[in-house]
Amino acid sequence: MKQVPAAAEFNRGVITRFLRWLDGELAASKFVAGERYSVADITGLCTLDFATALVGISIDPTLSHLSRWHAAVAGRPSARA
């Protein structure tokens, strides 16, 4: 499949803005969909981990709420299965 560098660069900006938004949302709740772990967290973890591994996207260390959430959900026994 032909890659389009301009599209990749544009989408990195989209992802950066989304992760900043998600960090703000996680400032008000423990998990993605509220105070309880849910399928939203499972989906988010899988998506973020695949993006990290396959596309080279990483969590900006200044996104403290997102970093906290990622450490919490990635540290669950089910995430290591």
Q: Which CATH number covers residue 46?
A: 1.20.1050.10
Instruction: Give pLDDT, residue 17.
Output: 96
Dist CA 63 CA 67 (whole Å): 6
Tokens at residue 9, please?
Answer: 């660069």
Instruction: Give pLDDT, residue 18.
Output: 96
Tokens at residue 10, please?
Answer: 């544009």
Three-state DSSP state, 34: strand
Instruction: Give pLDDT, residue 56.
Output: 86
Dist CA 58 CA 78 (whole Å): 22
The total number of structural domains that make up the chain: 1
Regions in the chain scoring below 50 on pLDDT: none
Instruction: Give pLDDT, residue 79.
Output: 93
Q: Structural domain of residue 59, as residue ranges?
A: 5-80
Instruction: Give pLDDT, residue 8.
Output: 85
Kindly report the pTM of this predicted structure. Answer: 0.90
Dist CA 73 CA 68 (whole Å): 9
